[in-house]
Amino acid sequence: MAEATLVISSKNYSSWSLRGWLLAKWSGLDFAEEMESPDDPGVRAELLLRSSSILVPCLIHQGRRVWDTLAIAEYLNEVRPKAGLLPRDPTARARCRSICGEMHSGFVALRSALPMNLKAHKPGFVIWSEAQADIDRILTIWGECFQTWQGPYLFGEHPTMADAMYAPVCTRFLTYDVKLRGFASAYCARIMEMPAMVEWIAAAKAEPEAMPELDFEF
C-alpha cells in the first residue's frame, strides 16, 4: 500500500496537478494517484481559470490533507528534506521561494492566453502584448538563475520546487510555438526530457477526456 495519495485532475490540461505530481515524484514519496474527472464542476472551473480556490492537487499523507501547490512543496520539503526541493544555501533558498511565489500568484495573462494543453500544437500562434510581457519576465527570471547558479537547473545541479513550478511553462512554450534561444531553449529541452515529464506527457496524451473550451477557443 502506498504511503500517500495525490489527488490530481487532467494530465493534459492541469498545470497545477503537474507541479504537485513532479514535487511528489522528486521528493521520493511513495504515492498513489487519485484522478478527479474534468467533468466535475469544481475541477472544470479550475482548469478554465474560473475558480477562486484551487483544491487540486491535494496530498494525503499520514492523515493530513495538504492542498495548494506551494503548501505541498513546503510540506514535502519538511518530510523529505534530503530530496533538496529547496536549495541549502540561504540566498538561493530565498530566491527560490520568491520565484515560486511569483509563478503561484502571477502571470495571469500567460495562463489565460496560453493554457496548458499537451496534446495540442499551434505553430504560428499569435501572442499578444500582455502575454508576451509575462514571457519576457519568465525569461528574465530564468536568465538570472542561470547566471548566478550556473544550471543545468534553475538552482544548480538538482531540480528544486522552482523547476516544478516552471515546468508547465516549458510545455506551453512548445504548444504555442514560442521562439526560444540559448539557455531558455536548452532549459526547456532538459525539463521535457526528464523521466518524470516523459511519463506524465505519455499519460496526458492517452487521456480520453477533452475540453472543447481549451481545445478550440484559442
For residues 110 and 65, what is the distance between their CA atoms, to the nearest angstrom?
29
**Which carries the bigger pLDDT value, residue 53 or residue 164?**
164
pLDDT at 108 over 90: yes
Same domain, 95 and 170: yes
pLDDT at 71 over 90: yes
Q: How many domains does the chain have?
A: 2
Question: What pLDDT is recorded for position 50?
Answer: 55
Question: What pLDDT is recorded for position 52?
Answer: 56
User: What average pLDDT does this structure show over 94-114?
Assistant: 96
Residue 215 counted as domain residue? no
Instruction: For the chain, state the CA radius of gyration.
Output: 16
Phi, then psi, of 158 in degrees rounded to 5: -125, 145
216 pLDDT tier (thresholds 50, 70, 90): very low
Please enumerate in sequence order all residues whose Cβ is within 8 A of that of 2, keeping only pairs 6 or more positions apart, or say none.
30, 31, 32
Can you give the residue range of the structural domain that contains 107? 90-200
Please enumerate in sequence order all residues whose Cβ is within 8 A of that of 203, keeping only pairs 6 or more positions apart, or say none.
11
Same domain, 110 and 177: yes
Residue 213 counted as domain residue? no
User: What average pLDDT does this structure show over 164-193?
Assistant: 97
Question: What pLDDT is recorded for position 46?
Answer: 62
Which of 25, 59, 83 is a domain's end point? 83
Question: What pLDDT is recorded for position 41?
Answer: 64
Ramachandran region, residue 115 (left: φ > 0; alpha: ψ -120 to 50; beta: rest): beta
Query: How high does pLDDT run on average in the chain?
Result: 91
Give the pLDDT confidence of 138-154 residue by residue, as tens digits: 999 999 999 999 999 99
Return the percentage of the chain with pLDDT > 70, whole number: 88
Question: What pLDDT is recorded for position 210?
Answer: 67
212 pLDDT tier (thresholds 50, 70, 90): low
